[in-house]
Structure 1
Amino acid sequence: MSSPPIAAVEGVGTSRFGRQPGTGLVRLAFQAVDEAFRDAGGPRAVDAVWVGSVFAPAGTAQRVLRAIGISGVPVLSVESACASGTSAFAEGCEAIRTGRYRRVLVLGLEQMSTAFDGAIVPEPSDPEGCSGLALPALYAMAATRWLAEDRVTAGQLAAVSVKNHAHAVHNPRAQYSGRHTVEEVLGSRMVADPLTLLQCCPVSDGAAAAVLGPPAPGRVGVRAVAARSGRPWDHTSDRVWGHDLVRDTGADVWAATGVDPREVDLAEVHDAFTIGELVTAEALGLSAPGAAGADAAAGRTALGGSLPVNPSGGLLSRGHPLGATGLAQVAEIVWQLRGAAGGRQVPGARLGLVETMGGGVSVLDGNACVVALLERG
């Protein structure tokens, strides 16, 4: 027997994504929250708010919400690295499921262009971060291993970038889009061997929001949402970094819903780097072991394929404002399940999956992972 929804998504909204140093967090958040409330209909009132962000200054959540006109309710800030937005979403869903609140707002926001001159600086208090191991290098290590094991080819890695940039052509809010060839991707500037510039997500600013309430006919339902943090990465696993955390979090969702991964119609997953999408696809069971690269190259995970992955363009092309990313993924899945995704629409989509991996090199197999399964109303 299938499980009933634990919550409903009443409305979603996002800002545009990209480098927007002249647009403050308040304005970015307003764009997302205003659209989410207009989408939800009804009063602009909620019982509580969860806000996900990584690098926002202290007190940002309350200042942003005050400017939007929301005050006097509980406001809780969440920081789970790149999974901050979906961690906020998970908490909001649980509050609805348990009856603690009847209507909540979840918001994710980030303005990275004013926080860093370039890539994110490794945290000096972290044992691996103080050695200079930044996330591009960590993902590059995974890609190098898969290449050495003949689990993927360089062309298959590049195919993920080709696919997601092409998907973003149909997303007017995406930071980047374009028709690239595998050769162009492989020929772009090297960032962390073997990952080239077009295989890495950009520095982004943006916000995304969702209004949640109890399950209701006609609303997109949240069948399940699971969250975990990584175990110590002590080499007891023979998998690359992050695989086991994503696998275990996804397993919680499959167990809670009775859904087989092969029943999913589309997925928005964490593709901060091309290898990330492939590892995630196999960890979640969306691709068979050793087949994710071939699936990308053959078009199976592209629009028109049997299981489109990242039709929004993903982090690679839509952009990756850390705190906003997870809720942008949720918004994309909601639009898809409503049949409102325009030129990137997956026909007949009924079940959509969201996976966000919170990166970090804190001697853990990932800081956090959230997986959610949504269903057409």
Structure 2
Amino acid sequence: MSQGIFWDLGIYEKAVNVHLQGGNPYELNGYLSFVYHPIVLRLMSIFGGHLNTVLIGFYILSIVFFLKNINSNHLWWIYTFLAFAYCGIGTISIGSGNVTIFFHLILLGILLGSVEKNNQTYWRKSLFWLSVTTIIFSFVKPYMLAYLLIPLISSWKTPQQKSIWSLTLLLAILFALIMGCGALYFGAEFQSFLNAVQGQTIGKRDLGYGIVMYFYEYYLSASSLLYRAFVLHFVILAAIFSLTLVMANRAKMVNLPRFALLLYFLLTILNPRLKVYDLFPALIALFIFFSFYQTRFNRWVFLIAYAISLSQLAGTALFAHTGILSDPLNVYYLTMGIVFIAAMNSFLTSTISHNKVQGL
């Protein structure tokens, strides 16, 4: 925060300047490294000294697009604000100027627009644009490829399945070809990029708040077994994701636009390097999904889950110096776990009841 607002822009700008001067931007000094593919570096370099202006303009447009798709839904505004205020992650995410959060806002905006309109034609178009936009953003953030599962799952056993699946497969193949050719073409520079990624994540332990962190320290002493921490991360989340899909499929809700918000949340926390600029949009998706099930019981459950975050208010009587709530990781997953379980329970119950009524 000492670097002011949009501090990640300084990293992008420095990398572009070094590249244009013939240097290696993947060997920058400092805690933060430039960890984007050489293709992305070339695209940024097109704008030269105007890169910051272009990116700030993009950031503003992405925020406007997201807010436009919230529209006049008061509950969505409230839950978006609560996600923004949660442990200050919204301020940090936006203030960092990292492109990731603004990618998330655009993807969420596409989903929220279709949920708000609740129109099948619009939903089909939204799945198309979600696929295309996801591929574009994945060149910058490859883990966003996971969001391609949303159009695949949402179109399952619908008249649009063939067209959506064909498009998604085509885009995925195109992405793989471009990235593969890029790795071969850039050669040593691509290897420098991989080294920078490894150095930033493993070397500088800049891993964020993924479930992997619960096991990382345990296996760190035996570096040859460190991979097990990541295996456990994916096994746990894959089990949760699979169970959610099975339950949703039985309740005939996988094709509902609002369910895509829950998928977005689960696919976001699937990222082992979950940073605050990923956690913030994940909470938006989860909280807005939860907003569809406003019972008195659920409001109290949400209040209790959200109140857990107060343990992170440094300098107050609520601040947890010791114990389970002293670790932000525990606080984040306690809140998300409680809200997720309450939302799923209400969603499944209401959907099953609705199906029974229709069957009468």
Give the alignment's TM-score, normalised by structure 1: 0.26
Larger radius of gyration: 2
- Greater RCO (CA < 8 Å, at least 6 residues apart): 1
Larger proportion of helix: 2
Higher strand share: 1
TM-score normalised to structure 2 length: 0.27
